[in-house]
């Protein structure tokens, strides 16, 4: 009997095609409710998700009671999968860290330029028929300091691109240590020092119990009133209420975020601020990244269900 795969989020065609070439049966059913997913998950050996499907303990329990052996995340983040439940139920979890890193790194640099040159209000004003050239003078980023909170696959690429653009790079990452930080051309600093010294502070770490709301009111108070915060990592790393207060009171020059605590976000005061740039989780939304993660997650699951070694174990951002 051929293994059966459920793809519950929209994904590039290379993913289902890879399964079919390997002789697997594939169903693509995006937009399932948790109840509907729970009803059918036990009939599948593997589940492929992106960020929309929430793989809860309840769904995993129903899957493990049937045929479910593995869940694959086409991407790096794992906050939509209950990893503890998967481990308890012996359901393997794989992801594809690093394959969308360049896409996220390029977006990070793009948002920094948007903030520095005030391109967000400039685009809005000219589309509204206003010519506000005198009021929209910005800053050059060369010679400024960027601080990276986290130096994984994305952070390292941001560091390289920032150095190429003439920025000084500071980084804090207690996991990899000072030598690894210096190896990419960055200067290792302490946590509070990173926020105090950076003109642009960019987040590059996963959301865990330890990192939830790591950027809170206390941390934001350390930043210079001329500095900017960029988050292309994960929603929930930043206390959105505290960020609103800092931006509203001009204790922070601006912020740009690609991610939110709840996605899609509910109406929020942040969206009313001219110095807040928001985009709808586009970090990995490039053709190159989507193709890469879609193919890789299929190959990982195929290899495992065919009895091979399990590589690409979940982890990293």
Catalytic residues: 234, 263, 281
Partnered with residue 92 across adjacent β-strands are: 70
Q: Which strands, in side-by-side order, build the sheet including 145-149?
A: 187-188, 168-172, 145-149, 200-203, 228-231, 254-257, 276-278
CA dihedral (246, 252, 253, 257) positive or negative:
negative
Tokens of 266: 């509910």
C-alpha dist (Å) from residue 240 to 37, 49, 115, 188, 244: 31, 27, 18, 27, 6
- Residue indicated by tokens 């960027």: 146
Q: Which residue, among 249, 241, 237, has the nearest Cα to 201 in the 3D structure?
A: 237
Q: Where are the alpha helices (DSSP H) in 206-278?
A: 217-220, 240-248
Maximum separation of any 2 CA atoms in the chain, in Å: 70
Instruction: Report which secondary-structure segment, H or E, holds 93.
Output: strand 92-94
Q: Under 8 Å CB-to-CB from 23, ≥6 apart: which residues?
A: 2
Q: Is 193 exposed, middle or buried (0-12, 13-18, 19+ CB in 10 A)?
A: middle
Q: Quick check: bond before 264 cis, omega within 30? A: yes
Contact of 167 with 109, CB cutoff 8 Å: no
Measured in degrees and rounded to the nearest 5, phi and psi for residue 165 equal -95, 5
Partnered with residue 170 across adjacent β-strands are: 147, 187
Contact of 189 with 197, CB cutoff 8 Å: yes
């Amino acid at each position: 009997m051929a293994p059966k795969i459920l793809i519950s989020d929209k994904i590039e065609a290379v993913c289902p095609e890879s399964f079919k070439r390997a002789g697997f049966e594939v169903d693509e059913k995006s937009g399932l409710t948790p109840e509907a997913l729970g009803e059918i998950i036990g009939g599948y050996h593997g589940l492929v998700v992106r960020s929309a499907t929430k793989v809860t303990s309840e769904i995993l329990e129903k899957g493990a009671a049937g045929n479910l052996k593995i869940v694959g995340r086409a991407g790096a983040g794992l906050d939509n999968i209950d990893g503890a439940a998967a481990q308890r139920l012996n359901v393997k979890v794989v992801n594809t860290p690093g394959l969308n890193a360049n896409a996220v790194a390029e977006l990070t640099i793009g948002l920094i330029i948007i903030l520095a040159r005030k391109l967000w209000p400039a685009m809005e004003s000219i589309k509204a028929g206003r010519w506000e050239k005198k009021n929209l003078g910005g800053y050059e980023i060369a010679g400024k300091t960027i601080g990276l909170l986290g130096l994984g696959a994305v952070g390292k690429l941001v560091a390289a691109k920032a150095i190429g653009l003439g920025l000084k790079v500071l980084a804090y990452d207690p996991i990899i240590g000072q030598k690894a930080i210096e190896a990419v051309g960055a200067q290792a600093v302490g946590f509070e020092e990173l926020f105090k010294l950076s003109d642009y502070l960019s987040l590059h770490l996963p959301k865990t119990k330890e990192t939830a709301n790591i950027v809170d009111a206390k941390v934001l108070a350390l930043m210079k009133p001329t500095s900017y915060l960029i988050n292309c990592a994960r929603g929930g790393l930043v206390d959105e209420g505290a960020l609103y207060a800092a931006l509203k009171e001009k204790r922070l020059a601006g912020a740009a975020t690609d991610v939110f605590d709840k996605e899609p976000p509910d109406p929020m005061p942040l969206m009313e601020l001219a110095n807040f740039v928001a985009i709808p989780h586009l970090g990995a939304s490039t053709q190159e990244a989507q193709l890469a993660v879609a193919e890789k997650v299929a190959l990982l699951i195929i290899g495992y269900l065919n009895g091979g070694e399990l590589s690409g174990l979940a982890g990293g951002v």
